[in-house]
Amino acid sequence: MSHLNRRQALRLFAAAGAAGLTAPILSACSSSDSSTDSTAVPSGPPIKIGMIVPQTGQFKDFGNELDNGFSLYLQQHGTKLGGRPVTLVKADEGETADSGKAAAAKLINDEKVLALTGVANPAAMLAMAGDIENAKIPLIGSNASPKALQTMSLKYNWRTSFVSDEPGFAIARWAAQNAGGQLAVCGQTGPGGDDDDVASFVEQYKSAGGNIAGQARTVGYGSKDFGNMLNAVKSANVQAVYALFNGASAVEFVKQFRNMHFPANVKLFGSGPLTEGSVLKQQGDSAKDIVTALNYSPDLDNVANRRFVADYQKAFGTVPSTYAMASYDAAAVLDKAIADATRSLDSVNLNAAIGRLGQIDSPRGGWQFSQTRTPLQRWYLRQVRNDGAVLSNVLTAELATRG
């Protein structure tokens, strides 16, 4: 199918599925161009926003994408949020929960920021949650959050990405219908939520009638040697594999999986981060045909996404990832909320304004915060294919609305 015809098909698919979506999602279909922004208010004094992103260590690539997404929104809006000039103060999250917590403390106590954003490491998000609540300064976190945060009574911790158990949940029923027989589960443990995704996938997959070969096989976070794991999977004669890895581990797992020369009929499914962002470039053709579930695909056909992708490619020379998109949306959340609270703008009133926001017009499609301060949003099935000359996670279907 040509690129043009595929986009036409996506529009037809969206129209056919609209009747089954909730009212907040339906309203996104008629939303205006995101370049027409609702923050035309008189400019007030400058405000200071703190960004927690890893500038060193194993999460640095994620940090770059979070930084890019937020920075792009500022560029598009004249370095203002809610009509106020913005000073963006960055603190290095590092690669541990403790270093992330220290970065948050620095921005709260020394820089006296109005709000916080970023946080690549889910474990760091969990570690700093209590300090955020005590300081009464909203955090608009823009990467996956641990499931444990959902059970805590939190008022100031918001997330624009997804909860750690949602990718596995989203793809499980589809995988049960398409595995073609027994499936092996391969994943990593920590930090802050990887076990949630594996457990969620296994539970939903079995409830949908899927057969799993033995127990889920896991390795520690950051592992790069999957020889023993893959030899065991190959010996089990499975017809499909579900994989949860990200970063450097995702690159190595996919390459080593291909080098094992599984039978051609063995399918590889995964949680979205398996082929997301910078890892897909490093995986190259080894990633072709992998199917994943995520809350975003760069070829989503809506006005907000067309502008986002075009501007992101122009600014950074690559297609955006879900990490960049969620950070872009974090800026949009702050933009709207600051405009709402501007007559009495402090961190407490800003937090209350975030709670009143309603729907966000996003590159992923319209979404809004749920009661647990995470997005109620669509989930998408993607397959790694050539989109023109570029290898990409190409949208193939909508899966569900979760949040």
pLDDT in tens, 84-133: 999 999 999 999 999 999 999 999 999 999 999 999 999 999 999 999 99
Tell me how far apart the alpha carbons of residues 181 and 237 are, in angstroms, rounded to a whole number: 10
Q: Which residues of 242-264 are buried (b: 16+ CB within 10 A; e: fewer)?
A: bbbbbbebbbbbbbbbbeeebee
Global confidence as pTM: 0.88
Give how far the C-alpha of residue 259 lies from the chain's centroid of Cα atoms, to the nearest Å.
29
Is a pLDDT exceeding 80 seen at residue 193? no
Query: What single letter denotes the amino acid at residue 99?
Result: S
Tell me how far apart the alpha carbons of residues 292 and 322 are, in angstroms, rounded to a whole number: 13
Is a pLDDT exceeding 50 seen at residue 10? no
Neighbour count for residue 13 (Cβ, 10 Å): 15
Spatial neighbors of 358 by CB under 8 A, at least 6 apart, are 24, 368
Bridge-based pairing of strands 84-92 and 115-118 is unpaired
Tell me how far apart the alpha carbons of residues 83 and 320 are, in angstroms, rounded to a whole number: 26
**Average pLDDT for residues 317-339, to the nearest whole number?**
97
Bridge-based pairing of strands 291-294 and 375-387 is antiparallel
Residue 239: which of 186, 183, 171, 177 has the closest Cα? 183
Tell me how far apart the alpha carbons of residues 27 and 12 are, in angstroms, rounded to a whole number: 17
Q: How confident is the model at residue 194 (pLDDT cuts 50, 70, 90)?
A: low
Query: What single letter denotes the amino acid at residue 392?
Result: S
Q: Please name the residue that has the structure tokens 């690129």.
A: 3
